Structure 1
């Protein structure tokens, strides 16, 4: 297992280098350092001296990818790509291009906790609700309960999560005044700001997961070992819990593990609409202001989390099913 994990980490390192290079090229295809300087300095009249000063302060005065041999230097560290890449791989994200952005690593450490307060309850409660609801539908398969449950899932899946947010804010914040429409506070006061977005995102994500899990459970419920368990007189709830759920764990682990990076990266749409200062809103603000340093750091962090989550999924396979071996 150790050799397999080390090999996957080696593949992951190559992927990170590729993602880092593609992000760099895509960003500077759209913007030049001069454009970034004008945007961050602001104002209609930006002098060339101000642009040059901004570029020098942030290291954008150096060549982008390759050294200019005419300048008489062969130092690899004299390129923007090399300097920024080395710092990323040691998790030194540097400072934001925006003057008010501050240290990126400090911002990530602070905002990640806020994002986890929002995303972890959505993930855990959503997973439990989807599994229970799906098992309930399978127990009543072929009946009106199953039919109308599937219809409700299809209808809910057809509605955008943005609709749930807008309607939820209007009904529960403006009309009923049960929760703040947006904002955030530290400590226990955070609960009253997080309850509404958590509930709305649970409703928005329930249908898709329930349909997927119902398909898995229906496939397992028709197999011979399940019919044998029923023939022995085992209660239907025990059949669903001990046999159907247990043998459908691998796809559930896959879907759940794939969602792990999103727990740390935050909800882009939810945090933006509810004014929650997590990593999701941090990323959206950086994209809007074209802050390359923040965008690149967030893309790199997301790639690391996805690579680690995929390795954890493979390890979890061996724990859920002893027949699975890593090679």
Structure 2
């Protein structure tokens, strides 16, 4: 137990150092490299007086260490202030947009991971066959096609011609949003499967050829028992690594999908902030993504010890 708290303390120190570094880099980019935000917002014909008033209103005339302290504080309090363009509280924007984004990305994440892991595990029985090679070739071909092609074909065929789904839009509410998220979810599941299948196939095959698998089969165990009780259990560490790394993308990973399907999630928030030079919102997105990545890495390290007793913290 003592070693666990020592390990957790070291991880928290590591997380703190990463957050400090990430916030300082964000501060340098948006306060030093980009230029004067007041000039960007008001345009090149703005008067010096108007620029000075706007800089004072936005707190840009304060000393640099006070401005950086506010950025660092926001990483722990999640108080990012207000958007420069919409004048709304950024955290409220993220809460509303995050829930909308999760209605699309979370089902796709769960279904996609469950499907690709199950298929990769099951196809180890047919390795080297025509079906195995055909599936690998299909995944390679489909990953070489732009995501825009899948979106446009889905909208044209399933939405316009078959009229199975709305072509775009979104309604809030558990049941009201379902017709609008089915087609985007299908596209995300398909993309996730094609991009991840070869990786999961590789780690599954690496385990299938291990001596303990041959021993289990020699004992007369059924193939399903060998696959799900032995092989799957021993590939949990790379699976956890991949899944944990994908978690931050649940909030910010569907920018293109949300934009083409008119879903008012965080993807559209990010696009609008970039087009309008809304620096506080862009800073908030960057900082939240960094904090989520650090937190997910810590959770992943702790899960390693739970699924594999050989790993010591």
CA drift of 1:30 comes to 2.2
- Does the alignment pair 1:17 with 2:20? yes
Structure 2 gaps of 5+ residues are: none
Report Cα offsets for 1:182-213 as digits up to 9, x if no partner. Answer: 21111111111111100011111102211111
* Preserved contact between residue 252 and residue 266 of structure 2 (Cα < 8 Å): yes
Structure 1 gaps of 5+ residues are: 67-76
Structure 1 segments of 4 or more deviating over 6 A? Answer: none
- Does the alignment pair 1:103 with 2:94? no
* Preserved contact between residue 266 and residue 278 of structure 1 (Cα < 8 Å): no
Question: Which residue among 187, 192, 204 is the counterpart of 2:179?
Answer: 192
CA drift of 1:137 comes to 1.8
What is aligned with 2:76? 89
Distance in 2 separating the partners of 1:296 and 1:102: 15
CA drift of 1:249 comes to 1.0
* Preserved contact between residue 184 and residue 261 of structure 2 (Cα < 8 Å): yes
What is aligned with 1:204? 191
TM-score by length of 1: 0.89
SS at match of 1:102: coil
* Preserved contact between residue 87 and residue 93 of structure 1 (Cα < 8 Å): yes
Question: Which residue among 240, 261, 271 is the counterpart of 1:284?
Answer: 271
* Preserved contact between residue 172 and residue 179 of structure 1 (Cα < 8 Å): yes
* Preserved contact between residue 116 and residue 266 of structure 1 (Cα < 8 Å): no
What is aligned with 2:29? 26
- Does the alignment pair 1:140 with 2:126? yes
- Does the alignment pair 1:152 with 2:172? no
Question: Which residue among 121, 138, 153 is the counterpart of 2:107?
Answer: 121
1:136/1:88 CA distance change after superposition, 3 Å = closer
Distance in 2 separating the partners of 1:275 and 1:226: 49
What is aligned with 1:295? 282
TM-score by length of 2: 0.93
SS at match of 2:183: helix
Matched ranges for 1:154-303 at <5 A: 154-187=140-173, 188-303=175-290
Matched ranges for 1:50-89 at <5 A: 50-63=50-63, 65=64, 77=66, 80-89=67-76
